[in-house]
Amino acid sequence: MIFRTLVAASVTGSWLFALPAVASESTLAKIKQTSAIKLGYRENSPPFSFVADDKKAHGYSIDLCTLVANDIARQLGIAKLDVQWVPVSAQSRFEALKSGAIDIECGNTTQTISRRADFDFSLMTFVDGASLLYRSGENPKSLDDIKGQRIAVVSGTTTEKAMEKLVAAEKLGIQLIKVKDHNEALAALQNKTATAYAADRTVLITTALLGGEGKAYTVAENQFTYEPYGLMMRRDAELRLAVDRTLAQLYRSGEIGPVLQNWFGPLGKPGEVLTVMILLNGLPE
C-alpha cells in the first residue's frame, strides 16, 4: 500500500569557450586525439546515477551518457573508445568539469540560467520537482505544521537554494540540516535527526524504496520547484551539438521508451509533462 502511495505521488506530480582551467582545444578534438572520454557520475542518486553491487555506475543518466559516448565514437571514427567513469558529488561536479577531470556530467543536474553562464547543458533529459519525504504517519497537512522543525537537504543542490528561500519567505523557523548525499539525508530521517528530507520527487521515491523498502515513508503531495535536468558540459558548442544529436534521435525515434521503462517503469507511466518534454526535444535532424 505504501509503495502504491509513493508511486501515485510520483505520477502526479565552440570551439574556444572552454574555461581557462583546461586546454583551449575543443573537447571532441581531445577525445579524438586520446580515444578516451571521461564521464562523471553520482554514486547515490538513484535512479539517475548510482553505484550498484557490482561497483559500477548504473542509472537512467548513465544509459544516456553511454549512448552519447557510442555516438561520439562513431562520429569521430574511433574504433574503440575508452570510456572512463569518474565519481563526482553534488559539491564537486562543477569543479570536475572546469578542471577537465570529466567531459560530461551524467547525473540529475538541474539547468538554471546561472549555471548556463558557466556551463553548457544538453537538451532536457528529465523534468522533476522538489518535495518532502516524511516518516510514515508524520506527513503534515501544510508547512505550518512543521514550524521550528528540521529538514535534511543535500548541499550544493538547487533544492538547497529553494528551501533556503522558502524558509526565509515563510518565516517558519525551520532548521535546514545540510548533508553530503541522499544516503546521509535518509539516515537523518531514520534516526529522527530530521523531521523531513527535501529533494527531487523521483529521487525521494527511489531512495525511500531502496533504503526503506517503501514501508516507512510517505512523500508529500506538494511540489515546490521546477527541475529541468540536462547533461552538463564545459562551454563547448561542438560537444553540446554531438550530445544533442544523440538525445534528439532517441526522442524522435521513440528509442527512449525502453530506457525510461527500465528505470521508471515501477513508478508508473510517464506523466504528461515528461511526455511533452520528450516530444518537444525530439528535434528534427
Q: What is the pLDDT of residues 14-51, one digit of tens each?
A: 333 334 444 457 999 999 999 999 999 999 899 999 99
- C-alpha 185 chain-centroid distance: 16
The residues pairing with 104 across neighbouring beta strands, listed in sequence order, are 39, 233
The answer to whether residues 192 and 166 belong to one domain is: yes
- Residue 152 vs residues 8, 84, 269: alpha-carbon distances, Å: 23, 32, 29
pLDDT of residue 143: 65
Quick check: is 1 in a domain? Answer: no
pLDDT of residue 137: 84
State the CATH number of the domain containing residue 29: 3.40.190.10
- Of 167, 197, 219, the last residue of a domain is 219
Domain limits for position 200: 130-219
- Residue 232 vs residues 43, 102, 106, 249: alpha-carbon distances, Å: 16, 10, 7, 19
How far is Cα 230 from Cα 106, in angstroms, rounded to an integer?
8
The answer to whether residues 118 and 171 belong to one domain is: no
Closest CA to 219 of 128, 99, 105: 128
pLDDT of residue 7: 39
The answer to whether residues 183 and 164 belong to one domain is: yes
The answer to whether residues 119 and 239 belong to one domain is: yes
Quick check: is 189 in a domain? Answer: yes
pLDDT of residue 19: 40
The answer to whether residues 44 and 55 belong to one domain is: yes
Residues of the chain below pLDDT 50: 1-23
Residue 44: how many CA atoms within 13 Å on its side-chain side?
A: 15
> What is the bridge-based pairing of β-strands 36-42 and 82-88?
parallel
The answer to whether residues 143 and 266 belong to one domain is: no
| Model pTM score | 0.80
* Count of the separate structural domains present in the chain: 2
The answer to whether residues 202 and 168 belong to one domain is: yes
The answer to whether residues 16 and 97 belong to one domain is: yes
